[in-house]
Copies of this chain bind each other. A is one copy, B any other.
Amino acid sequence: MSRPPPDPAEPRVTLAQVARAAGVSEITASRALRDAANVAPRTLEQVRAAARALDYVPNRMAGALAGGASRQVAVVLPSLSNSVFADVLRGLETRLDHAGHHPILGVSNYDPEQEERLIRDLLSWRPAGIVIAPAASTEGTRRMLAQSGLPVVEIMDIDPPPIDTAVGLSQRAAGRAMAAHLTGRGYRRFAYLGHDIAADPRALARLEGLRAGLADVRARFEEVLTLPGPSSVPLGREGLAALLARRAPGGLAVCFSNDDMAVGAMFHCMAAGLAVPGDVALAGFNGLAIGQALPQPLTSIASMRDRIGAVAADTLLARLRGEEPARSIDVGFALIPGATA
């Protein structure tokens, strides 16, 4: 059982070798392997055969350096802890891959400093563009992105003025829509339960939308509780337990920063024998599959995350082709009435 030799003098096959084997010049081989235009069919075949025979793997770094665009796309996400950004990433990767592009990934953990450093690092790979779900970005970050001269697609929220292009939904409008739904159903007592909001500008925007919506009917949150740490099922479960230790349930509608929190809250109600929505009403956000598979489907707002990823990729690719897509693309959201509020 010996490890394959680390191949210290690794003599990688180069384009020059392929060209020699095919009996043509380097540049002709290069063209044959790319455009295929302006190359005689016979030559084309020879070059392809030689490449195949030698197991040639092009060196795209050299290619990108020499002239072509890089075909790598920097992707900066604030988190991979719940499925939200995993969904976005999936949509992104699929579409980029189809176009022969690949994501270089960075996760900022909602830390503006880390985000800035990350962007600086990723930019040094000279990507063709950048897709970012911003944390509370620093001024330096914005300047760097603007000055990079690259297409920049900011995803998730379309309300803040984009540096270049935005793809997502109006987080604020989503918040308002949920508030309207809840007040429309007759609820008059409200609480908010979220993860650490300071770091997550979109959760904050939704909260503000909720507040604005409640204010429309002169209602307000009795309590806004934010817990440290990323949103998660256990956090929602613990959170609701803590909240209900202080507040009478009767007719209280609780809004969550994310479906996973709401699902955890639902579990608490099940375990504590509380009727939903009779004793407590629960409203989530994102329309995750898990919420819809609950015995009672969760009241939520579908956020079409894979769509955001896909559209972000398409928008970026369009800009790379020199087109001028809209500065701001609203992929919308949909209220899911569910049965928990």
Q: Which chain A residues have a beta carbon within 8 Å of chain B's beta carbons?
A: 1, 3-4, 6-7, 10, 12, 55, 57-62, 64-65, 70, 72, 75, 80-83, 86-87, 89-90, 93-94, 97, 100, 102-107, 118, 120-126, 146-147, 149, 163-164, 232-234, 236-237, 260, 263-264, 267, 270-271, 289-290, 292-295, 324, 327
Let me know if A104 and B104 touch, CB within 8 A: yes
Q: How far is A324 from B125 in the complex, measured between Cα atoms in Å?
A: 29
Q: How far is A13 from B94 in the complex, measured between Cα atoms in Å?
A: 33
Contact of A233 among B4, B55, B97, B289 (CB under 8 A): B289
* A289-B234 contact in complex given A102-B104, A106-B102, C-beta closer than 8 Å: yes
CB-CB < 8 A to A126: which residues of B? 59-61
- The closest CB in chain B to the CB of A62 belongs to B65
* A93-B64 contact in complex given A57-B123, A234-B293, C-beta closer than 8 Å: no
Contact of A1 among B1, B61, B125, B327 (CB under 8 A): B327
Smallest beta-carbon distance A196→chain B, Å: 17
CB-CB < 8 A to A327: which residues of B? 1, 3
CB-CB < 8 A to A59: which residues of B? 65, 124, 126
CB-CB < 8 A to A260: which residues of B? 290
* A65-B61 contact in complex given A102-B121, A233-B293, C-beta closer than 8 Å: yes
Smallest beta-carbon distance A96→chain B, Å: 9
Q: Name 15 extra pairs, CB < 8 A, besides A3-B327, A12-B149, A102-B122.
A: A1-B327, A3-B164, A6-B149, A10-B149, A59-B65, A59-B124, A60-B126, A61-B65, A61-B126, A75-B105, A81-B90, A89-B105, A94-B107, A263-B293, A267-B293
- The closest CB in chain B to the CB of A92 belongs to B105
CB-CB < 8 A to A87: which residues of B? 80
Let me know if B104 and A72 touch, CB within 8 A: yes
CB-CB < 8 A to A55: which residues of B? 147
Smallest beta-carbon distance A249→chain B, Å: 17
Let me know if A61 and B70 touch, CB within 8 A: yes
CB-CB < 8 A to A64: which residues of B? 61
Smallest beta-carbon distance A312→chain B, Å: 15
Q: How far is A237 from B294 in the complex, measured between Cα atoms in Å?
A: 9
Smallest beta-carbon distance A92→chain B, Å: 9
What are 11 pairs between A and B in contact, CB < 8 Å? A55-B147, A61-B64, A61-B126, A75-B105, A90-B107, A102-B122, A105-B105, A233-B290, A234-B292, A260-B290, A264-B293
- The closest CB in chain B to the CB of A88 belongs to B80
* A125-B4 contact in complex given A62-B65, A83-B83, A295-B270, C-beta closer than 8 Å: no
Contact of A289 among B121, B124, B232, B294 (CB under 8 A): B232
CB-CB < 8 A to A123: which residues of B? 57
Smallest beta-carbon distance A99→chain B, Å: 12
Let me know if A163 and B267 touch, CB within 8 A: no
- The closest CB in chain B to the CB of A114 belongs to B97
Let me know if B105 and A102 touch, CB within 8 A: yes
Smallest beta-carbon distance A317→chain B, Å: 15
Q: How far is A69 from B264 in the complex, measured between Cα atoms in Å?
A: 46
CB-CB < 8 A to A107: which residues of B? 90, 93-94, 97
* A125-B61 contact in complex given A4-B164, A270-B270, C-beta closer than 8 Å: yes
